[in-house]
């Protein structure tokens, strides 16, 4: 339904969205999760045709945004971070106007406006000026304008961000009700929220996708873990050039699991396997990722259960093997860093 290829946006020297590629299937709900400034809004603005992309392609329902902008725009309902309202109009007049500029045929307009009003429970305020409504109601009017032309695609930018917890839950329920009829892309910086609504979550940071997963698996992976980063230098092994097929398969699994975009392995794969096995044998260690970066040194991320500290064991092991320990620090996983930022303003 939505296909995005190599979408990039630069503002001057800053890259707000960096080579994003993804597809959203019909009926799917995709969540963008990321701290402020991650590039969520910019991505949505490019998909909706408000911001021209620096490079890359967007197509909706087979229509390319550049070649057929009107066909694309007709198929999208878009709720911005701040709902685009005319406070001086009544709810009904406002929705009639939106229906008109979204090409709803005149004979169907009244019916679709009524339907949108019903779906977001605005019946009691339909003839009130928007200026007089509470924040929660305004947000619902925003949702109503996004669905009034019954678009197949809904793009919702932080639809609950400015609301109190009760209103937030209401809007969340509304979106859950809408999901059946629409393909939805929504953004948030609140993890529990996205996990309640989305089928699939992209974690965005600095314009890049850090991770893709189902909400359940993400939550699982992010649930408190310790991480240690070690840099070691191992003696050059004899079997330099032999690539072990087992190892390379393993490492590809690894990099998918962690979804860390890694460069082509340039380090001796036997060393990699050796290091992995050794560190995995340490008690308490749950996961080892060897980052095959350039140079003769191995960068290894060692995850362990919450509350454990494996630094001592790691150092001892490195010494026992006769490797050289170049660095050892306790660091939170970058995903966790993000997660902390994401969750810190959830009440």
Partner 1 sequence: MRHAFAIAKRELRSYFVSPIAYMAMTMFVFLSGAFFSNMVVYYVRQAMLADRQIEQIARSDLQLDVPSVILGEFFKNEAFILLLVLPLLTMGLITDERRKGTLELLLTSPIRSAELVAGKFLGAFSMFVIMLLPTLPFYYVLHQGGAWEPGIVAAGYLGLLLVGAAQIGIGLFVSSLCENVLVSAFGTYGILVALSFVDTSASLARSIWADFIQWLSFFYHYVNFSRGVVALGDISYFATYLVFALFLTQRSIEAIRFKRA
Ligand X SMILES: Nc1ncnc2c1ncn2[C@@H]1O[C@H](COP(=O)(O)OP(=O)(O)O)[C@@H](O)[C@H]1O
By beta-carbon proximity to partner 1, the closer residue of 83 and 215 is 83
Q: Count other C-beta atoms under 10 Å from residue 18's C-beta.
A: 16
* Distance in angstroms (rounded) separating the CA atoms of residues 147 and 271: 56
Q: Which chain residues interact with partner 1 by CB under 8 A? A: 45, 48-52, 69-71, 73-74, 76, 78, 80, 82-89, 93, 97-98, 100-103, 129, 145
Residue 82 within binding range of ligand X, rule CB under 6 A: no
Q: How far is CA 179 from the centre of its chain?
A: 18
Considering the complex, state which of residue 100 and residue 337 has its C-beta at the smaller distance from partner 1: 100
Q: Residue 334 in contact with residue 340, Cβ under 8 Å? A: no
- The option from partner 1, ligand X, Mg ion, none interacting with 145 (CB < 5 to 8 A, set by class) reads partner 1
C-alpha distances (whole Å) from 18 to each of 74, 329, 330 are 27, 29, 29
Applying CB under 5 A, does 41 fall inside the site for Mg ion?
A: yes
The least distance separating ligand X from the CB of residue 82, rounded to whole angstroms, comes to 12
Q: Is 37 in the site for ligand X (CB under 6 A)?
A: yes
272 neighbors 265 (Cβ within 8 angstroms):
yes
Phi and psi at 96, nearest 5°, equal: -65, -45
Choosing from 24, 31, 34, 300, the residue that interacts with ligand X (CB under 6 A) is 34
CA–CA dist 19, 39 (Å, integer)? 12
From the CB of 178, what's the least distance to ligand X, in Å? 21
User: Least separation, in Å, of the C-beta of 39 and Mg ion?
Assistant: 8
Q: Output 43 or 304, the one with its CB closest to Mg ion.
A: 43
Which is closer to ligand X, CB of 207 or CB of 215?
A: 207
Question: Binds 23, which of partner 1, ligand X, Mg ion, none (CB < 5 to 8 A, cut-off by type)?
Answer: none
- DSSP for 168-186, written as a single string: HHHHHHHHHHHGGGSEEEE
Q: Is 140 in the site for ligand X (CB under 6 A)?
A: no
Q: Work out what residue 37 binds among ligand X, partner 1, Mg ion, none; the CB cut-off runs from 5 to 8 Å by kind.
A: ligand X
The H-or-E segment that residue 192 falls in is helix 191-197
CA–CA distance, 330 with 337 (Å, rounded to integer): 13
Does 11 participate in binding ligand X (rule CB under 6 A)? yes
Q: Single out the segment in contact with ligand X by CB under 6 A; choices: 32-40, 67-75, 262-270, 308-316.
A: 32-40
In sign, the C-alpha dihedral spanning 142, 148, 149, 154 is positive
Among 2, 24, 33, 40, binds ligand X (CB under 6 A): 40
> Which pair of structure tokens corresponds to residue 54?
């620096």
42 binding ligand X? (CB under 6 A) = yes
Q: What is the DSSP string of 26-41?
A: TT-EEEEE--TTSSHH
Please state the closest distance from residue 43 (CB atom) to ligand X, in A: 7
When the beta carbons of 120 and 175 are compared against ligand X, the nearer one is 175
Q: In this structure, how many other beta carbons lie within 10 angstroms of the beta carbon of residue 108?
A: 13
Q: Which does 160 bind (CB under 5 to 8 A by kind): Mg ion, partner 1, ligand X, none?
A: none
Cβ neighbours of residue 235 under 8 Å, at least 6 residues apart?
322, 323
Regarding 80 and contact with Mg ion (CB under 5 A), the answer is no
Site residues, ligand X (CB under 6 A): 11, 16, 34, 36-42
Site residues, Mg ion (CB under 5 A): 40-41
């Amino acid at each position: 339904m939505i296909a995005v290829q190599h979408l990039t946006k630069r503002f001057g020297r800053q890259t707000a969205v960096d080579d994003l590629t993804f597809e959203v299937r019909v009926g799917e709900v995709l969540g963008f999760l990321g701290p402020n400034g991650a590039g969520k809004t910019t991505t949505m603005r490019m998909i909706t045709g408000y911001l021209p992309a620096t490079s890359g392609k967007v197509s909706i329902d087979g229509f390319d945004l550049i070649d057929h902008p009107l066909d694309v725009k007709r198929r999208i309902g878009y709720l911005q971070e701040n709902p685009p309202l005319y406070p001086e109009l009544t709810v009904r007049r406002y929705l009639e106007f939106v229906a008109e500029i979204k090409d709803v045929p005149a004979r169907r307009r009244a019916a679709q406006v009524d339907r949108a009003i019903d779906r977001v429970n605005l019946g009691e305020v339909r003839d009130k000026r928007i200026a007089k409504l509470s924040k929660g109601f305004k947000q619902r009017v925003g949702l109503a304008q996004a669905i009034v032309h019954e678009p197949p695609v809904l793009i919702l930018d932080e639809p609950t961000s400015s609301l109190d917890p009760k209103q937030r839950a209401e809007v969340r329920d509304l979106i859950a009700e809408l999901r059946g009829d629409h393909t939805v892309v929504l953004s948030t910086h609140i993890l529990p929220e996205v996990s309640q609504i989305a089928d699939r979550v992209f974690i965005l940071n600095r314009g890049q996708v850090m991770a893709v997963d189902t909400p359940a698996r993400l939550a699982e992976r992010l649930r408190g873990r310790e991480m240690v980063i070690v840099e070691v230098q191992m003696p050059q092994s004899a079997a330099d050039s032999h690539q072990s097929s087992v190892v390379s398969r393993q490492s590809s699994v690894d990099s998918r699991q962690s979804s860390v975009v890694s460069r082509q392995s340039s380090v001796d794969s036997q060393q990699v396997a050796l290091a992995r096995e050794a560190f995995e044998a340490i008690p308490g260690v749950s996961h080892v990722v060897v980052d095959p970066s350039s140079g003769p040194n191995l960068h290894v991320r060692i995850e362990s259960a919450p509350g454990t500290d494996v630094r001592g064991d790691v150092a001892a092991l490195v010494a026992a093997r006769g490797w050289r320990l170049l660095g050892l620090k306790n660091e939170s996983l970058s995903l966790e860093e993000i997660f902390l930022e994401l969750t810190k303003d959830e009440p």
